[in-house]
């Protein structure tokens, strides 16, 4: 089923147009308030979620965002599947953009997975820290979270409604964890999923000791073809661990939308002074110069998220032409 609105060809043209005009091409959208806890049903989160946008508000955000072109829109937050209206939100985004989604997998079912694919989802990413259940559950602090994540991986693959929809595994690795990556790649390959690697956040205050991490990752990639992180990203990952990657493009190539439709240069900057305004107040156009100003004043080197790494690679001409075909395959 194809979503109503712009065709894939039109959306690609609009995305290319935004890139050529020097505007951002990617945004993260936190549909629910962030929470560092893995637990799903606390009263505090329920209260905070009440401050968020309803389906109509999300539709308005997607439309106002579309006034400046098409974007790769990564739906995230505590977990998007906590929203009962998630398929409607995905459909609203898919009218003019390319919706991506990140989940811990706990609430993914056959019906919910099929509904988001039918609504126009392009890529679903499941966070999985290790192939070993005990180690993954130790990281999340929730017994059984590995079983649910792997089940979600299988369910999302099985429920796809178009052959070119993709399922990813996202994992965060530092130091000795790299030795455990091949087992995770094998697990993902068994479910026909690719794997992206990012550094844990926040990066350690005392950097150093990457020890040829980029070359080790490239070697693993030569043996495991479903490791989809590019070689250039691997090199910068090593740089991030050894001292930080300068020149962050937050505010220029990408930005963040919070659960109330307010914009900031990235998801780690959400104080009152970080926000440049809300889409509901007049659309994206007047906010772009403010985002650019925040970008120009940005000296942060605290992360090497996969979203930052892939977007910055995409924001070069070579990376954009290659990455667009990979990220947007419908």
Residue ranges of the domains in the chain?
A: 8-327
Give the pLDDT confidence score for residue 4 in this predicted structure. 52
Topology given in CATH for the domain delimited by 8-327:
TIM Barrel (3.20.20)
Average of per-residue pLDDT across 135-156: 94
Give the pLDDT confidence score for residue 306 in this predicted structure. 83
For the cut 70, the answer to whether the pLDDT of residue 50 exceeds it is no
Average of per-residue pLDDT across 21-43: 75
pLDDT tens for 255-295 read 999 999 999 999 889 899 999 999 988 889 999 999 999 99
Give the pLDDT confidence score for residue 20 in this predicted structure. 80
For the cut 70, the answer to whether the pLDDT of residue 319 exceeds it is no
Give the pLDDT confidence score for residue 174 in this predicted structure. 56
Give the pLDDT confidence score for residue 5 in this predicted structure. 62
Strand ranges inside the chain, DSSP E: 26-30, 72-76, 98-103, 123-127, 166-172, 194-198, 254-257, 262-264, 277-278
For the cut 60, the answer to whether the pLDDT of residue 325 exceeds it is no
In this predicted structure, which of 91-100, 193-202, 228-237, 298-307 has the lowest mean pLDDT? 228-237
Sheet holding 98-103, edge to edge: 194-198, 166-172, 123-127, 98-103, 72-76, 26-30, 254-257, 262-264, 277-278
CA quadruple 325, 1, 161, 81: dihedral, nearest 10: 90
For the cut 70, the answer to whether the pLDDT of residue 329 exceeds it is no
Give the pLDDT confidence score for residue 15 in this predicted structure. 85
In this predicted structure, which of 35-39, 134-138, 154-158 has the lowest mean pLDDT? 35-39
55 to each of 3, 26, 83, 89, 131, how far by Cα in Å?
16, 21, 10, 6, 36
- CA count, 13 A, side-chain hemisphere, 296: 6
For the cut 80, the answer to whether the pLDDT of residue 254 exceeds it is yes
* Peptide bond between residue 301 and the one before it cis (omega within 30 degrees of 0): no
Within 8 A by CB and 6+ apart from 42, the residues are: 35
For the cut 80, the answer to whether the pLDDT of residue 212 exceeds it is no
CB crowding 167-189: b at 16 or more within 10 Å, else e: bbbbbbbbeebeebbeebbebbb
Average of per-residue pLDDT across 106-112: 96
For the cut 70, the answer to whether the pLDDT of residue 41 exceeds it is no
pLDDT classification of 317: cutoffs 50, 70, 90: low
Give the pLDDT confidence score for residue 176 in this predicted structure. 60
For the chain, the average pLDDT equals 85
83/42 Cα distance (integer angstroms): 15
């Amino acid at each position: 089923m194809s979503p109503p609105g712009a065709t894939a060809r039109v959306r690609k043209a609009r995305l290319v147009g935004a890139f050529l005009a020097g505007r951002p091409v990617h945004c993260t959208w936190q549909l629910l308030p962030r929470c560092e806890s893995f637990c799903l049903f606390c009263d505090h989160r329920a209260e905070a979620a009440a401050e968020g946008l309803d389906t109509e508000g999300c539709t308005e955000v997607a439309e106002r965002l579309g006034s400046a072109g098409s974007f790769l829109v990564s739906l995230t937050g505590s977990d998007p599947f906590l929203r009962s209206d998630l398929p409607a939100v995905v459909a609203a985004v898919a009218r003019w953009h390319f919706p991506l989604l990140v989940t811990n997998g706990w609430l993914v079912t056959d019906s919910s997975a099929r509904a988001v694919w039918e609504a126009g989802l392009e890529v679903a990413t499941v966070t999985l820290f290790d192939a070993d259940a005990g180690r993954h559950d130790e990281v999340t602090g929730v017994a059984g979270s590995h079983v649910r994540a792997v089940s979600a991986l299988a369910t999302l693959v099985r429920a796809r409604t178009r052959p070119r929809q993709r399922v990813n595994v996202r994992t965060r690795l530092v130091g000795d964890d790299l030795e455990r990556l091949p087992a995770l790649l094998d697990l993902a390959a068994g479910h026909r999923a690719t794997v992206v690697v990012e550094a844990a956040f926040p990066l350690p205050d005392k950097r150093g000791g990457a020890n040829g991490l980029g070359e080790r990752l490239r070697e693993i990639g030569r043996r495991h073809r479903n490791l989809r992180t590019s070689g250039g990203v691997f090199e910068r990952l090593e740089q991030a661990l050894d001292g930080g990657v300068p020149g962050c493009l937050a505010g220029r190539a990408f930005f963040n939308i919070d659960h109330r439709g307010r914009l900031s240069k990235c998801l780690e900057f959400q104080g009152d002074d970080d926000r440049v305004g809300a889409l509901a107040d007049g659309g994206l156009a007047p906010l772009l110069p403010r985002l650019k100003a925040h970008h120009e004043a940005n000296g942060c080197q605290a992360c090497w998220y996969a979203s930052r790494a892939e977007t910055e690679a995409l924001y070069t001409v070579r990376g954009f032409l290659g990455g667009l075909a990979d990220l947007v395959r419908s």
